[in-house]
Amino acid sequence: MIDAEGLTRRYGETLAVDSVSFSIGSGEIVGLLGHNGAGKTTIMKMVTGYLEPSAGTVRVDGVDVAQDPGRAQAMLGYLPENCPVYPEMTVVDYLDYMAGLRGVSDRPRALRQVLAATDLAGRALDAIGTLSRGYQQRVGVAGAIVHEPRVLILDEPTNGLDPSQTEHMRQLILRLAERATVILSTHIMQEVDAVCDRVMILRAGALAVDEQLAALKQSARVTLATDARQDAVQAAVGDFAQVSSRDGGFAFDFGNGAGVAHTAELAQRLVAGGVSIHGLAAEKRDLEAVFREVNAATKASAGNEETTDAN
């Protein structure tokens, strides 16, 4: 559905996006994650055709955004970080205006559908400026989907919302994803964890991770719940694994990334060594831990490069 190759964007001497490539299939919900300034919004603007890349290409369903922006944008719905609504307009007037801009032929039907989809029917005649921040965000989403786009791009859709409004927005995104590919750009890891099935992590303008969320959370380590001491556990496994303390138990690092495959032999060694096993399972990582690892690895790499350059 979306294919980006070598996307690069410079602002003078500043390299905002550094040769980013990715492919997103139909029906995926992808979280674009990174610190503020990592390049997320710049990538979204290049995908939508709002900003020209300094180098590289992006295609939407095979259509080159730079070569045929009108055709590509007809397939896209985009909600920028700063929700672009007119506070003096009523909800229905604004959506009718957006439907007209998008060339929607049957506007009454489109308005009924989008008001129902975003739970705005009861606020249709209210001025947008009188609505809460959460409802204004819904109006922004409604305007982005009034033409039934095949791809929906949301930039920080829960920014500034309270917990209740955030939950409503998450449920709305999940409903919209039933009929459109969704890209969710955010610096809030909980948002990606709640609605996405794939995550791309940006670091300093470069794509550091592109992985299914479930696979990303799998660890090469195995954890053990036991009442045994660490020295007894290490003695039981010997050189087979390195033991470290972990949340009231122990973790085993096998050094080759194949922890789960070694679980059966690990259990045999523990039992033979007289270590009681209360629980033995692959370690689960949360997205925050993955994010920290990515940033730590990137910083370490940058530090090594600086040392090499100095030498």
The pTM (predicted TM-score) of the whole model is 0.77
Q: Which of 215, 237, 260 is the C-terminal boundary of a domain?
A: 215
Nearest C-alpha neighbor of 241 from the set 261, 262, 225: 262
Read off the CATH number of the domain in which 277 is found: 3.30.70.980
Residues 250 and 268 in one domain: yes
Token readout for 70 is: 């009108």
- The domain total for the chain is 2
295 exposure class (CB count in 10 Å sphere: 0-12, 13-18, 19+): middle
The parent domain of residue 230 ranges over 218-284
Provide φ and ψ at 137, rounded to 5°: -65, -40
C-alpha distances (whole Å) from 244 to each of 135, 224, 255, 266 are: 49, 10, 13, 15
Crossing angle of helices 163-176 and 133-145, in 10° steps, is 10
The stretch 87-105 carries a mean pLDDT of 96
What is the C-alpha to C-alpha distance for residues 33 and 189, in angstroms, rounded to an integer? 7
* pLDDT tens string 116-175: 989 999 999 999 999 998 999 999 999 999 999 999 999 988 887 888 888 988 998 898
In this model, does residue 104 exceed pLDDT 90? yes
pLDDT band at 307 (very low <50, low <70, confident <90, very high): very low
pLDDT of 311 reads: 46
pLDDT of 290 reads: 76
pLDDT of 298 reads: 55
* pLDDT tens string 228-257: 999 999 999 999 988 988 777 898 888 765
What is the C-alpha to C-alpha distance for residues 208 and 70, in angstroms, rounded to an integer? 31
Nearest C-alpha neighbor of 77 from the set 157, 185, 182: 182
What is the C-alpha to C-alpha distance for residues 60 and 49, in angstroms, rounded to an integer? 10
Is residue 293 assigned to a domain? no
pLDDT band at 17 (very low <50, low <70, confident <90, very high): very high
pLDDT band at 100 (very low <50, low <70, confident <90, very high): very high
In this model, does residue 47 exceed pLDDT 90? yes
Q: Which of 215, 242, 272 is the C-terminal boundary of a domain?
A: 215
Residues 62 and 136 in one domain: yes
Residues 181 and 225 in one domain: no
Sorted by sequence, the CB contacts under 8 Å of residue 249 that are 6+ apart come out as 223, 224, 225, 226, 279
Q: CA geometry: angle at 164 spanning 162 and 168, to 5°?
A: 115
What is the C-alpha to C-alpha distance for residues 233 and 274, in angstroms, rounded to an integer? 9
pLDDT of 294 reads: 72
Is residue 304 assigned to a domain? no
